[in-house]
Chains A and B, each alone.
Chain A
Amino acid sequence: MNSMEHTNALTETAMKIFEEAAFALIDGVEREEEREKQEQIATKVSFQGPKTGTLYVKLDTQLAVMFAENMLGLDPGDPDAVNKGADALKELANMICGNLLPVVYGVEKEFKVLAPVEMPLDDYDAVLKTSGAHEALIVVEGLEANLLMIED
């Protein structure tokens, strides 16, 4: 799989997980021109096997809360969802990584996916500058999901 195919696989897998696990309606993959600055949260999940690497996911916090509401069947604005946005992000990152690895490397290859961990936003921005990173942007109801996948 070449770099472009790898990036496309990342985008398509993330969209599939957002749609199927979080019942999200995807707007597209283009950033809105006049976007207000949003509070964000990030997580990372590492994998080990024939290839090692890490998937990084950064979401607008409001989007993470919306995902939590959808995944847990909570009403919009439920305080419980506000507290569970970060957990929803970690679970989605786990699913994206688990579903992406067979697409990129083949179903016969065996990988171990480690537990997702929260990460500082500054660390995400530092990783973004790494060469060889596969980057995806997905817009959901005007809010952004950013993903990076890097092989060690």
Chain B
Amino acid sequence: MDNKDVTILIVDDAKFMRVKLRKILEDAGYTITGEAQDGREAVRMYTEQRPVITTMDITMPEVDGITAMKAIKKVEPNARIVMISALGQKEKVRESIFAGAMDFIIKPFTPEKVTEVISRIASK
């Protein structure tokens, strides 16, 4: 699959981080289908857009990333979701993977780390 055919939904409550992720991913040739700023919007946008991959911040107001991921998995059990968080604690990583995340990126990240993870998940 060419990178341009890999559609990605970015979910993060911080606009700054959405801009940064979009830049990294677009520079690598991926197609961004949209940006959601909370878990509820993420579920709605996922359902509408059905992206190949979703990047999901964990800490967000109201509906957090893990709750949103569980809701998306009910819509599409095979949804490919990468969790992103500044809080790299074992329990959060374990909970995310148990709930169905395909990988976990801890902030701060490099562009190379992000594209490496996305490339690996896109090829699965």
Contact = CB atoms under 8 A, between A and B. Distances in A.
B77 interface: no
Contacts of B20: 71-72
Interface string A108-138: 1111111100000000000000000000000
A89 to B, nearest CB: 9
B15 A87 contact: yes
Interface string B19-42: 110010000000000000000000
Q: Secondary structure of the A side of the interface? A: helix
Interface in A67-116: 68, 71-73, 84, 87-88, 90-91, 94-95, 97-99, 101-102, 107-115
A25 interface: no
Contacts, number: 67
A17 interface: yes
Nearest to A86: B16
A17 B86 CA distance: 11
27 contacts: A20-B110, A72-B16, A72-B23, A87-B14, A90-B16, A94-B14, A94-B107, A95-B86, A95-B107, A95-B108, A97-B86, A98-B87, A98-B88, A98-B107, A99-B86, A102-B89, A107-B88, A108-B89, A108-B90, A108-B91, A110-B91, A110-B92, A111-B89, A113-B59, A113-B86, A113-B87, A115-B61
Interface of B: 13-17, 19-20, 23, 59-61, 85-92, 107-108, 110
Interface of A: 17, 20-21, 68, 71-73, 84, 87-88, 90-91, 94-95, 97-99, 101-102, 107-115
Given A21-B108, A110-B91, 10 more contacts: A20-B110, A84-B16, A88-B16, A94-B14, A95-B107, A101-B87, A102-B88, A107-B88, A113-B59, A115-B59
